[in-house]
Structure 1
Amino acid sequence: MAKLALFVPGGSGQLGRDLAALANDDVDVRAPGSAELDVTQPGAVVEAVTELAASARESGRFPVVVNAAAYTAVDRAEEDEARAFAVNADGPRVLAAVCSSRRVPLVHVSTDYVFAGDADAPYEPDAPLGPRTAYGRTKAAGEDAVLGSGAQAWIVRTAWVYGANGANFVKTMARLEKERDTLSVVDDQRGSPTWSADLAAGLLELAGRIAEGDGPSRKVLHCTGAGDTTWCGFARAIFEELGADPERVKPCTTEEFPRPAPRPAYSVLSNAAWSDAGLTPLRPWRDALRAFFADHAASLK
């Protein structure tokens, strides 16, 4: 693989931190958090990407931007759509424009929320979009901005991401297992849990392919853990890894657990295009969860 210089806006999030952890002699990673680089500030973005391009080429590395910056507070976005739009749409628009002018490839991470969530088979990358939340609308706008920018760019959609850093479903379930005798979790929403470390490895493989001039011809790809389950099934698997009785997790319906932003009933993304591009499929979600606990169980119990 070519020597890489990865620049990862959103570096303080769970995916950004896992991408930073992949740094080695062949992969130089700079992963600024929002406090260091606010993607809604065009001047800062221009300066950062320009510096990346210059320093990478001086050191004989190939620069690639992997944009992990996002406003992901799904419920809060319903009342703060302007801020969500600034981060999820305006930020990627500026980033893509600068990448285009500096001839730096861009990989932009997106979400299952760009779809309506009413399918009955895994969504292919070219399926019609139909976001039903402010978060989904702003992420869809960000995709449009990137794809229309003229940059050498790819969109990678993922879903149900969890990891060692930040707040996520696995950490919430581990906390509630200690606090409650039983808990109810929705059993009528289906998706594919994705360990952020596995996703980061997949994005690194994609960046390496791009650096070698062998980037996929398809510009929109999906990358999630293989297989699917419901939130209730996911929670029960987490309880099993904690050594707790999974029957303590009781199924409920979405109607019994209303949220400000409606959740997709069906979030399963097809990984076929990812595999067809010659990229390594992510392992089954249950295997990944087991591996995650093998690495991080002590911090969760």
Structure 2
Amino acid sequence: MRVLITGCNGQVGHCLVEQLAGHAELLAVDRDQLDITDSVAVDTTVNEFKPDIIINAAAHTAVDKAEEEAELSYAINRDGPKYIAQAAANVGAAILHISTDYVFAGNKDGLYVENDETEPQGIYGQSKLAGEKAVIEACSKHIILRTAWVFGQHGNNFVKTMLRLAKDRDTLGIVGDQVGGPTCADDIASALITIAKQVVSGKNAQYGVYHFSGMPHVSWFEFAQTIFEQAEEQELLSSKPRLNSIATADYPTPAKRPANSKLDTKKIEQAFNIQPSDWRSALTDLKPYTN
């Protein structure tokens, strides 16, 4: 299996490289090696390597900055995926593309399924949705994997932020009225590799849009509670900070966050036998998150 990974230094990209090393012919690139917004560079790289699978883990994920950097967000989140998908189609490769819960308004009661109406509320979500559409249009052999609340040992994320803040603060206010499924980056990488293997083998090429995230669904406040319980158990903190549940309105941000980020993962379970991310077990060794 020949695999091209873009965004290899991001949270998920890093995990993909770790898990695929020694198990695939791998070309892993980040922005320094390949500017995905340069269509000629993308074409050249893909034509030279001729991958079976391209996993696009590159994205502009700074949700608040995106409100000021719309042009950059669309270049990375829409144009880049379009060029990658076009190049994939030209060499007969499949593209696996990571997307987000932010394509939804976040005001639904219950879980979001793949064919629910999309209604992104900010530039980040709008640019990611535009990227989904560009990939679907450019390459028939596509998998769009929407996920949410990503955390891992590499890069910046909520778990690392909580552990860092706990060193200096006795009390923290955490948003309690946004609910979703924390998702371990390692599990996202594992899910993508499972799909890639089935697609390349030809046994199960069920192309389309899929949701993959963690269970059980919790609020950010409940997620933080679990992080600190684990940190205390693992003796990474001498004592937990006191947590106060606050409303989204009490913590204004430039970009609107979805109140409901709960993704229904039944489709990916049925198609590829992939279970939701067990985010609680991913927190049983927090030491790497403190580095």
Both structures adopt the same fold (TM-score exceeding 0.5): yes
Task: Say whether 1:220 aligns with 2:170.
Answer: no
Instruction: Quote the residue 2:184 is aligned against.
Output: 195
**Is the CA contact (8 Å cut-off) linking 2:153 and 2:288 kept in structure 1?**
no
Task: Say whether 1:186 aligns with 2:175.
Answer: yes
Task: Say whether 1:297 aligns with 2:256.
Answer: no
* SS of residue paired to 2:192: helix
1:218 is displaced (CA, Å) by 4.8
Q: Deviations over 1:51-82 (max 9, x none)?
A: 221xx5xxxxxx21000010001001001111
1:35 is displaced (CA, Å) by 1.2
Instruction: Quote the residue 1:60 is aligned against.
Output: none
* SS of residue paired to 1:94: helix
> Kindly tell me: are residues 47 and 298 of structure 1, through their superposed partners in 2, closer, same or farther at Cα, counting changes over 3 Å?
closer
Task: Say whether 1:249 aligns with 2:243.
Answer: yes
Cα separation, 1, equivalents of 2:273 and 2:72: 34
Aligned-partner residue type, residue 47 of structure 1 = T
> Kindly tell me: are residues 283 and 77 of structure 1, through their superposed partners in 2, closer, same or farther at Cα, counting changes over 3 Å?
closer
Root-mean-square deviation over aligned CA pairs = 1.5
Cα separation, 2, equivalents of 1:177 and 1:229: 20
**Is the CA contact (8 Å cut-off) linking 1:110 and 1:157 kept in structure 2?**
yes
**Is the CA contact (8 Å cut-off) linking 1:125 and 1:221 kept in structure 2?**
yes
Cα separation, 1, equivalents of 2:208 and 2:104: 17
Cα separation, 2, equivalents of 1:133 and 1:186: 19
1:22 is displaced (CA, Å) by 1.0
Task: Pick one of 103, 107, 129 that aligns with 1:140.
Answer: 129
> Kindly tell me: are residues 246 and 266 of structure 1, through their superposed partners in 2, closer, same or farther at Cα, counting changes over 3 Å?
farther
Structure 1 stretch 176-185 or stretch 17-26: which is displaced more?
17-26
Task: Say whether 1:237 aligns with 2:226.
Answer: yes
Cα separation, 2, equivalents of 1:288 and 1:154: 25
> Kindly tell me: are residues 84 and 176 of structure 1, through their superposed partners in 2, closer, same or farther at Cα, counting changes over 3 Å?
same
Task: Pick one of 238, 262, 276 that aligns with 2:270.
Answer: 276
Q: Deviations over 1:134-168 (max 9, x none)?
A: 00000000000011114311100000001111111
* SS of residue paired to 2:160: helix
Cα separation, 2, equivalents of 1:201 and 1:129: 26
TM-score (norm 1): 0.91
Q: How many equivalent pairs are there?
A: 286
Task: Pick one of 10, 14, 37 that aligns with 2:11.
Answer: 14
**Is the CA contact (8 Å cut-off) linking 1:7 and 1:64 kept in structure 2?**
yes
Q: Which runs of 4+ in 1 moved over 6 A?
A: none
1:90 is displaced (CA, Å) by 0.6
Structure 1 stretch 105-114 or stretch 144-153: which is displaced more?
144-153
1:1-301 correspondence runs (5 A)? 4-53=1-50, 63-243=52-232, 244=237, 248-290=242-284, 294=285, 296-297=286-287, 299-300=289-290
Instruction: Quote the residue 1:59 is aligned against.
Output: none
Query: Identical aligned pairs, as a percentage?
Result: 37
Aligned-partner residue type, residue 17 of structure 1 = H
In the alignment, structure 2 segments of 5+ residues that lack a partner are none
In the alignment, structure 1 segments of 5+ residues that lack a partner are 57-62
Aligned-partner residue type, residue 92 of structure 1 = P
Cα separation, 1, equivalents of 2:26 and 2:154: 18
